[in-house]
Amino acid sequence: MPFSFPTGAARFVAATACALALTSLVGCSNGEGGGGDSTTESATSPSKSGGTQVTINDFKFQPASLTVSPGAKVTVVNNDTTTHTLTASKGGSFDTGDIDPGKSATFTAPSKPGDFPYTCTIHPLMKGTLTVE
Ligand SMILES: [Cu+2]
């Protein structure tokens, strides 16, 4: 009888120690979850650069107005069935040259902040604005 008491107590203590160990393990995982915050931050930056794309559809630049950082690389995708360009209306700040149907081209945004209207040299009715800020 006197033996069973210490044994039971020892088991109880061991079980409690296990539970504490598990709790601290979970605590560790939560700490790594804090690292998940930095993952969220880095996910924000790609979405910014993901916004530096203009798609040409049905003789229209989409979006017609795009805001990018100075010197940003902008990708222009021609989803239309005819050749287009994306060319700065004045100053010649940027120009993709001819983009064949189904192809894409990249240009570098001006390094100075401002509004830069652009057009398609083949279809001058096509208009858009690049805002650098
Ligand atoms: Cu065009």
Distance 25 CA to ligand 1 centre (A): 60
Report pLDDT for 90. 81
Lowest mean pLDDT, pick from 8-17, 37-46, 53-62? 37-46
Distance 1 CA to ligand 1 centre (A): 95
Q: Comparing C-alpha atoms, which of 106, 62, 100, 55 is closest to residue 81?
A: 100
Distance 67 CA to ligand 1 centre (A): 21
Distance 11 CA to ligand 1 centre (A): 80
> In this predicted model, what pLDDT tens digit does every residue of 64-99 receive, in sequence order?
999 999 999 999 999 999 999 999 998 779 999 999
Q: What is the rounded distance in angstroms from the CA atom of residue 94 to the CA atom of residue 74?
A: 10
Could you write out the DSSP letters of every residue in 14-33?
Answer: HHHHHHHHHHHHHHHHHHHH
In the predicted structure, residue 46 carries a pLDDT above the cut 90: no
Listed residues: CB within 5 A of ion ligand 1: 84, 120, 122-123
For 21, phi then psi, to 5°, come to: -60, -45
> In this predicted model, what pLDDT tens digit does every residue of 101-122 receive, in sequence order?
999 999 999 999 999 999 999 9
Q: Partners of 74 in the beta sheet?
A: 107
Residue found under tokens 């069973």: 4
Mean pLDDT of 47-75: 89
Distance 59 CA to ligand 1 centre (A): 6
